[in-house]
């Protein structure tokens, strides 16, 4: 059936690599029900619809573009065979397999296939990212010098943890590529405004000019700017935060890549070429390639490997509902400078880089025992690059330790000292990272000890937690710390 079938491309399968030939008939569906069921960020809705409509305009008569309420309504209007590359969520996968006459092909848009991951996982008791990453380097022959890694090291992570430069408002690197909106963007914005006025759709976050590529031409321009002007600066400060520089040297390519506009393996080869040509240092290139063929693929495969119930794992028994100020992106209600700034970035842009996600937003949620499933859904809806496969593994497994250690060997919990070391936030904050009780107690420092106190029994068997737990037992004011944090509850810090 494949050769003759019309290829249905979901809105995260928009690149040419999702087609078998350049003239293959295409089906594109814009489903309004997707936005009626859940409150997505306004900027995310704009980005997805803009990308889908731009792809339809590019393909012209080659594409059947249907704007319906549901996917089912659209499929009922399509005659002839239809094929689709495996969708990126369990729910979408179940739907396409329930429809007669649809051929489901292997997934595309990732580097390692399901079969390759299954073979790799079947040989191991634990699924360590580093082992997977090194295996991928060998298979794809990326950053290899013969049988060994380029430069004699597999991982430059230890070199890429420099704190934010002191007394500097920005990192001082060239600006990322930015798009210019067009008539399609204007029509998307008008439609979203109308849907909100009709009352059928509600969004979180603020609208604003589109900041990410939505076409193949745009994304290649953005990739060129990153490779030529920003990649060389990426590595050393990739874990740092500056209040005046929200993008630092990050690529800003995760959103178009998760729309299917970029092939990650092509990006990895392009980054290696920059290193081989002497345009970017090995540490920066290795760090970027590790995110592509290592972490991104690893998260994708974890999502499928552990099954649809993985999202409901809750090994630490975290039951607290997300507070309204957090769920609604009410940054103005927050006094803690780091959390206020990061939440405002999510509200205004639908994006922050990986360290604010992990060590500010997720760290705060972990410390307070917020429901992992609800937090994963929040990240999915509120981030322009957020999808179910992205956020379930990143949140449930990585940041909330809700899978009991299937992904991460210890919880990613940290106090205010970490944020003070890696950012410039603490200097202008009402709280002090060295204080855990009283009016100036840092909510991250106090929250860290509260988290350890609540979960001591769960973490006692983890050797990597021996030192933190020993520190917990030496605290003379632990009861006061716990009591104060309980009183604050779900209120904004």
pLDDT for res 490: 82
Residue numbers in the chain where pLDDT is lower than 50: none
Look up the CATH architecture of domain 114-177+213-306: Alpha Horseshoe (1.25)
265-310 pLDDT, tens digit per residue, is 999 999 999 999 999 999 999 999 999 999 999 999 999 999 999 9
pLDDT for res 124: 84
pTM of the predicted model as reported, rounded to 2 decimal places: 0.96
DSSP 228: I
Closest CA to 362 of 332, 383, 389: 383
Class of the 6-105 domain? alpha beta
pLDDT for res 1: 58
Look up the CATH architecture of domain 310-488: Orthogonal Bundle (1.10)
Q: What contacts 115, CB < 8 A, 6 or more positions away?
A: none
Buried b (16+ CB within 10 A) or exposed e, 445-477: bbbbbbbbbbbeebbeebeebeebeeebeeeee
Domain boundaries, the chain: 6-105, 114-177+213-306, 310-488
Structure tokens at 237: 């400060």
HSE of 455 in the Cβ direction (CA atoms, 13 Å)? 29
Q: Three-state SS for 172? A: coil
Closest CA to 303 of 194, 407, 201: 407
pLDDT for res 492: 82
Whether residue 88 contacts residue 48, with contact meaning beta carbons closer than 8 Å, is answered with no
pLDDT for res 144: 96
Q: Three-state SS for 76? A: coil
Domains 6-105 and 310-488 share a fold: no
Closest CA to 89 of 400, 408, 396, 392: 392
Q: Three-state SS for 212? A: coil
319-356 pLDDT, tens digit per residue, is 999 999 999 999 999 999 999 999 999 999 999 999 99
Between CA 383 and CA 38 the distance in angstroms is 13
pLDDT for res 3: 58
Average pLDDT of the chain, as a whole number: 95
pLDDT for res 148: 95
Q: What whole-number percentage of the chain has pLDDT above 90?
A: 88
CA 76-82-85 angle, 5° bins: 120
């Amino acid at each position: 059936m494949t050769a003759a079938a019309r290829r249905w491309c979901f809105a995260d399968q928009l690149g040419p690599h999702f087609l078998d030939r350049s003239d293959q008939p295409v089906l594109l569906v814009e489903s309004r029900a997707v936005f009626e069921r859940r409150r997505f960020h306004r900027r995310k809705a704009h980005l997805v619809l803009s990308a889908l409509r731009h792809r339809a305009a590019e393909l012209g008569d080659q594409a059947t573009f249907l704007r319906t309420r549901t996917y089912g309504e659209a499929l009922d209007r399509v005659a002839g065979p239809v094929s689709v590359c495996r969708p990126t969520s369990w729910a979408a996968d179940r739907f396409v397999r329930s429809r007669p006459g649809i051929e489901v092909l292997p997934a595309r848009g990732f580097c390692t296939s399901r079969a390759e991951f299954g073979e790799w996982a079947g040989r191991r008791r634990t699924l360590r990212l580093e082992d997977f990453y090194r295996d991928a380097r060998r298979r794809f022959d990326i950053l290899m010098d013969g049988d060994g890694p380029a430069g004699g090291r597999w991982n430059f992570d230890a070199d890429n943890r420099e704190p934010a430069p002191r007394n500097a408002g920005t990192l001082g690197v060239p600006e990322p590529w930015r798009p210019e909106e067009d008539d399609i963007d204007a029509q998307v914005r008008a439609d979203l405004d109308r849907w909100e006025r009709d009352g059928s759709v509600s969004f979180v976050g603020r609208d604003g000019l589109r900041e990410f590529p939505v076409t193949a031409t745009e994304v290649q321009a953005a990739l060129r700017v990153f490779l030529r002007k920003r990649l060389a600066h990426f590595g050393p400060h990739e874990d740092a935060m500056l209040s005046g520089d929200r993008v630092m040297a990050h690529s800003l390519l995760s959103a178009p890549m998760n729309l299917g506009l970029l092939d990650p393996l092509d990006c990895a080869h392009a980054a290696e070429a920059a290193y081989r040509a002497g345009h970017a240092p090995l540490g920066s290139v290795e760090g970027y390639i590790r995110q592509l063929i290592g972490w991104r693929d690893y998260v994708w495969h974890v999502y499928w490997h552990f099954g649809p119930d993985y999202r409901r794992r809750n090994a630490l028994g975290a039951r607290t509902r997300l507070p309204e100020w957090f769920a609604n992106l009410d940054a103005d209600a927050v006094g803690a400078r780091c959390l206020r700034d990061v939440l405002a970035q999510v509200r205004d842009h639908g994006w922050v880089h990986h360290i604010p996600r992990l060590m500010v937003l997720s760290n705060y949620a972990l410390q307070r025992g917020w429901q992992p499933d609800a937090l994963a859904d929040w990240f999915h809806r509120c981030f322009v690059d957020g999808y179910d496969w992205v956020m379930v593994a990143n949140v449930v497994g990585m940041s909330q330790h809700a899978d009991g250690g299937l992904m991460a060997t210890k919880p990613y919990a940290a106090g205010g000292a970490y944020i003070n070391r890696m950012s410039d936030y603490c200097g202008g904050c009402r709280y002090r990272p060295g204080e855990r009780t009283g009016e100036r107690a840092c909510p991250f420092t106090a929250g860290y000890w509260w988290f350890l106190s609540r979960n001591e029994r769960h973490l006692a068997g983890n050797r990597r937690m021996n030192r933190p737990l020993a520190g917990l037992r030496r605290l003379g004011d632990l009861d006061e710390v716990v009591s104060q944090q309980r009183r604050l509850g779900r209120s904004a810090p």
